[in-house]
Structure 1
Amino acid sequence: MIQRIQTIFLFLIAVAMGVALANPLWEKAGLQAPEMARLTALEFSQQQRASEQAGIPAQVAPTTVVTSVWYLGLLLGLVALSALYAIFQYRNRLTQTALCAVNALMLTAIMGIVLYRTLYAGKEYGNPADQGNFLTGFYAIIAALVFNALANRFIRRDEKMVRDSDRLR
C-alpha cells in the first residue's frame, strides 16, 4: 500500500534530489579575495583575478571560467524520477527493490563525480592543501543514500512478511 514507511523514504529521496539540484554542492576560496570555485548540479565555475602579466590592469573585473557538468544534474533528476515512480509501484515490491538498486548505483555515480570534481579537479584551484567546503547540496545527496538504503530495507521486510503469510495459508 502507498501508506507504508518506504513511501516516505522514497519521497524524501526525491526531495533530497531537488535540494541538491537547487543548492551548491561545494565551494572553495582562492588565495586572493575575489577568487572562488563552486560546484553546482549543472556547472563547475572558477572565478579568478585578472592577470597582470597579460597586460591587463589588476582593477579589471575578475574572469569566470565555467565548465558544464550537465550529466550530474541529469543523474540527480533521474534518481528523483525513479524514486517517485517507485512510490507508485507498491503492488510490485520486486520492481520497487530493483528501482532502489538502480537508485543506489546512480547515487554512487553521483558521489563519485562530485568527489572527483571537488577533491581532484578542485585541488588545482587556489591553495592545494585546502579541500574546500561541502555545502547543502552535497549533504542532501548523502541523505538520499541513507533514505534509499532505508526504503530498500523496508520494502524487503514487507516482501518477507507477505511471503511468510502466504506460507501459512
Structure 2
Amino acid sequence: MLQRIQTVYLLLAVIVSAGLIFVFPVWETSEGTEVYAIDQLLIFGMFLASAALSLVSIFMFKNRKLQFVLGRLNIILNLFLLGVFVYWSLSLPGEMDISEKGIGMFLPIVSIVLLVLANKAIKRDEDLVKSVDRLR
C-alpha cells in the first residue's frame, strides 16, 4: 500500500536524487565556478537512474520481494556513484580542477541511508505477512 513508511523513505530518496542535484553543486573548480550534476553527463544519468529506481520501487508495493531487490540495486548504484565521486576528486592527476567539494557529493550518502531505511521497512512488512500466513 502506498501509505507505508517505506513509501515516505523512497519518496525522499527520489527528491534527493532528482531534485537536490539542481540545488547543490557537486564541486567547485579552481576558477571559482560551481559544477552541478547536470554539467557532467555520467553523474546526471546515475542520479536520474537512482531516482527512477526509487520511483518504480514505490509502485511495486504488491510485490515486496521485487521492491526489496530494486532497493538493493539502487543502493549499489548509489555506492558506485559515490565511488565515482571519490575517484574523480582524489585519484586523477591534477585533481581534474576540483578545488572544493560541494554538498552534492554527499547526496548519494543521504540517498543510501534512506534506501536502507526503506528496505528495512519492506523486510519488516514481508516478515509480518509471512507470520500471518503461518497462522492460516
Q: Do they superpose with TM above 0.5?
A: yes
Q: Give the C-alpha shift of residue 37 in structure 1.
A: 6.2
Q: Which amino acid aligns with 2:10?
A: L
Q: Give the C-alpha shift of residue 124 in structure 1.
A: 5.8
* Aligned counterpart, 2:50: 79
Aligned length: 134
* Aligned counterpart, 2:27: 26
Q: Which has the larger radius of gyration?
A: 1
Q: Using the aligned pairs only, state the percent identity.
A: 31
Structure 1's consecutive aligned runs of 4 or more residues displaced over 3 angstroms after TM superposition are: 36-39
For 1:37 and 1:123, locate their aligned partners in 2 and report how far apart those are by CA, in whole Å: 15
Q: Which amino acid aligns with 2:132?
A: S
RMSD: 2.0
Equivalent in 149, 159, 168 of residue 116 of structure 2? 149
For 2:35 and 2:76, locate their aligned partners in 1 and report how far apart those are by CA, in whole Å: 21
Normalized per residue, the structure richer in helix is: 2
Q: Give the C-alpha shift of residue 133 in structure 1.
A: 3.1
* Aligned counterpart, 1:123: 95
Equivalence map 1:35-50=2 (5 Å): 35-36=31-32, 38-43=34-39
Q: Give the C-alpha shift of residue 18 in structure 1.
A: 1.9
- Asked if structure 2 preserves the Cα contact closer than 8 Å seen for 1:25 and 1:41, the reply is yes
TM-score normalised according to structure 2 size: 0.87
Q: Which amino acid aligns with 2:26?
A: L
For 2:85 and 2:123, locate their aligned partners in 1 and report how far apart those are by CA, in whole Å: 30
* Aligned counterpart, 2:73: 102
TM-score normalised according to structure 1 size: 0.71
Q: Give the C-alpha shift of residue 38 in structure 1.
A: 4.5
Q: Give the C-alpha shift of residue 123 in structure 1.
A: 2.9
